[in-house]
Structure 1
Amino acid sequence: MSLSDRKTVLIVDDTPTNIGIISSVLKESFRTKVATNGEKALTLASADDRPDLILLDITMPGMDGYEVCRRLKANPETSSIPIIFLTAKTEDEDERKGFDVGAVDYVHKPFSASVILARVKTHIALQAALQRARESQKQADELLYCLLPQAAAEEIRNIGTVIPRRYNDVAVLFCDVVNFTSYCDKHEPEEVVSRLDALFVAFERVAATYGLEKIKTIGDAFMAAAGLLRKSDAPLESAILCGLQMAATSIDAQLGWAVRVGVHIGPVVAGIVGQERYQFDIWGDTVNIAARMAGKAEPSGVAVTGGTWARIKDRFEGESLGELEIKGKGTIPVFAVKRRVAC
């Protein structure tokens, strides 16, 4: 192992003989730094090139080792550095105090060279393992937050699952792409996925702008909700504005694509399904009707039921699409929402 790849051990002791012995024990495997008092130890420990482990004497002039350890553990920049007390204080109370202030180990003087080397290697290895575990946890958390809404991801982190719940007054937005299937059949997979990904990334930004949470994508369809896991004072209005913006999203005319959006508000049930792959989802009549409305919307349009239109007609301009047959609902009035009423 080259010198630059070696871990660094800071030796804190006011006795030159002890420093020389410890340095000679560690020199084949580690880089070493030396501090002969507590103040210098604190300076070296918080420098840019921080040590990976500290061997700390307790009895020193000025600041003793206990106080040095307390200050190191109180500083976020140095709190994770493992500290081994190496001292002639051998009483049980001294050892207990050493662990209380944050040391990971306590070695008595006179010490054995093999014991010092073994303890240092063990705690360096443990620290490396902890760092790898923290990095793995960070990656897992980042993936979790990518897959799930923030509130759902936090609930899984805290209790290991998402408790199924019923939510009232949730505005569900369902958006799909017109002519996507024919486009998919005539183009290379890489192009299809790339184009659809770009569109959905744009939709995610629009949804976030209006306070909606993306729930999932299903093929060429995008589903989001307002007033579910995030508080919303006006979930229906937010979803309609989001849908209008999505419908107006610029799509390359050569693709022959257009966006249709359906919005509906009402109760939903939400929870997690699956074990190998988490899937946060919502269910209920509200979801089904939003999807049906997307199917009835005109290209680049937003459609709602007559009941929903009655709740927003004082704030939006729109027009009737007539009495339409809706699966599971029979014939009901459907309206196209055009734009928000100018204030």
Structure 2
Amino acid sequence: MDHSDRTRRAGDPERRLRRLEKRLNKSEMRRAELEHLMDGGQAFQRRVIQEVEDAKAEIERLYESLSLEQARTNQLLRSIMPEAVAEELKERGRVRPRRTKSATVMFADFVNFTLHTENMDPVALVRTLDRYYSAFDAIAASHGVEKVKTIGDAYMCVAGNLADVQSSEHAAQMCRAAVDIMKAVADLRSEETNWSIRIGLHSGPISSGVVGSERLSYDIWGDTVNTAARVADATGINEIFLSESTHALLSDDQGTTYHGEVEAKGKGLVRLYQLIT
């Protein structure tokens, strides 16, 4: 073997080593690139997962906000109309007008309201009215009576209007509510104000429904409503008067006394009875 062959063979391992080193360097570069891609993929995956979690949290917040808004809307509807009417409005988008053959309407009217309140601070006046009307609302609900609305210093409610089965019980319901309202006024009078009240009841047919589009309003109409207001006007201070139609619906053991006939505006002579409290 000559010198050149020995030199060539000695150089072959060196060349192979250099080639292996180059391949190793390329492999290291590719591994680094792969690791970089893997790290980038993992970071991208983490970002996507975080974005999904953030979107889920935002959706949950929106659902919670929507639920709260729906609850406020439902509460607002129940505060301005009977619950059965509010449910019908939500389900159908409208409320069918009702004609009730026999219901009892009550007006509770503060006596000399303007005289007592003309010098009151407006904030104090609203706060005081809120205490009275909140108490009236609770009493009405406890007796199955539906508040219709407040008209200035007058509180109007009805019993029997939404009953599925007509009966004469609505008159007794309203009488019990009227007695409790009179007691509540007496309690508040001794604690805060010197306000007095008169309460009038009348029974008969009424119509009811929801009117308006921008501002919905639940109301009742008919001669029964007008007569109930006239009875309240004729009632004595801190007393409860019933018309003859309401008195006729009560049982014999209901405590009433005949008051006599009074001239009611637009109605002529009306027979009235006083409810003993």
Q: Please report the TM-score for the alignment, with normalisation by the length of structure 1.
A: 0.62
Between the aligned partners of 1:224 and 1:169, the Cα distance in structure 2 is: 14
Tell me, what secondary structure is at the counterpart of 2:132? helix
Q: Spell out the pairing of 1:62-211 with structure 2 (5 A cutoff).
A: 128-211=61-144
Select between 143-152 and 199-208 the one with higher mean Cα deviation. 143-152
Match of 2:188, SS state, is: coil
Letter matched to residue 240 of structure 1: C
Q: Residue 113 of structure 1 corresponds to which residue in structure 2?
A: none
Aligned equivalent of 1:334, options 253, 272, 277: 272
Quote the offset at 1:285 in angstroms: 0.9
Q: Any conservation in 2 of the 1:214–1:225 contact (CA below 8 Å)?
A: yes
Would the aligned equivalents of 1:244 and 1:301 in 2 still touch at CA under 8 Å? Answer: no
Q: Secondary structure at the match of 1:299?
A: coil
- Provide the rounded CA distance (Å) in 2 between the counterparts of 1:169 and 1:308: 10
1:177-215 deviation per Cα after TM superposition (whole angstroms, max 9, x unaligned): 112211110211111111111011111111112110111
1:234-276 residue CA offsets vs partner (Å, 9 max, x unmatched): 1001101111221222232463311211111111111111222
Q: Secondary structure at the match of 2:229?
A: helix
Q: Secondary structure at the match of 1:155?
A: helix
The amino acid across from 1:329 in the alignment is: K
Unaligned runs of 5+ in 1: 1-19, 32-116
Q: Distance in 2 between matches of 1:244 and 1:121?
A: 57
Instruction: Note if 1:312 corresponds to 2:250.
Output: yes
Contact 1:248 / 1:300 at 8 angstroms: preserved in 2? no
Q: Deviations over 1:44-98 (max 9, x none)?
A: xxxxxxxxxxxxxxxxxxxxxxxxxxxxxxxxxxxxxxxxxxxxxxxxxxxxxxx
Q: Indicate the structure whose relative CO is greater, using CA pairs within 8 Å and at least 6 residues apart.
A: 2
1:302 is matched with which residue? 240
The separation in 2 between residues aligned to 1:142 and 1:312, in whole angstroms, is 34
**Structure 1 residues 184 and 131: alpha-carbon distance in aligned structure 2, compared to 1, 3 A threshold:** same
User: Displacement of 1:123 after TM fit?
Assistant: 6.4
In the TM superposition, residue 159 of structure 1 has moved relative to its aligned partner by 0.6
Flag structure 2 segments of 5+ consecutive residues without an equivalent. 1-38
Deviations 1:280-314 (A, max 9, x none): 00001111111111111111211112333233261
1 or 2, which has the higher helix percentage?
2
Which residue is equivalent to 1:239? Answer: 174
When the two chains are superposed, the root-mean-square deviation of aligned CA atoms in Å is: 2.7
In structure 2, how many angstroms separate the alpha carbons of the residues matched to 1:171 and 1:26?
Answer: 69
2:19 aligned residue:
none
Q: Secondary structure at the match of 2:206?
A: strand
Contact 1:247 1:258 in 2 (8 A): no
Percent identity, aligned pairs only? Answer: 32
Distance in 2 (alpha carbons) for counterparts of 1:202 and 1:22: 65
Indicate the residue corresponding to 1:227 in structure 2: 160
CA 1:147 to 1:305, structure 2 compared with 1: closer, same or farther past 3 Å?
closer
What is the identity, as a one-letter code, of the residue corresponding to 1:289?
Answer: T
SS at match of 2:252: coil
Separation (CA, whole Å) in 1 of partners of 2:94 and 2:134: 27
For residues 77-126 of structure 1, give each alpha carbon's deviation from its aligned partner in whole angstroms, at most 9, with x where no partner exists: xxxxxxxxxxxxxxxxxxxxxxxxxxxxxxxxxxxxxxxx6x77766655
CA contact (8 A) 2:203 2:245 kept: no
Give the distance between the partners of 1:192 and 1:171, measured in 2 at CA.
30
**CA spacing shift, 1:26–1:148, aligned 2, 3 Å:** farther
Match of 1:287 in 2: 225
Task: Give the Cα–Cα distance (whole angstroms) in 1 for the partners of residues 64 and 112 of structure 2.
Answer: 50
In the TM superposition, what is the alpha-carbon distance from 1:146 to its structure 2 partner?
A: 2.2
Deviation, 1:229, is: 2.1
Q: Could you report, residue by residue, the CA deviation over 1:114-166 in whole angstroms, capped at 9, with x for unpaired residues?
A: xxx6x777666555544443443333222222222101110111011111111
Q: Which amino acid aligns with 2:181?
A: M
**Shift in alpha-carbon separation, 1:174–1:23, aligned structure 2, 3 A:** farther
- The aligned length equals 235
Q: CA deviation at 1:333?
A: 1.6
Given that 1:180 and 1:220 are in contact with CA atoms closer than 8 Å, whether structure 2 keeps it comes out as: yes
Answer 1 or 2: which has greater strand percent: 1
* TM superposition score normalised by structure 2: 0.75
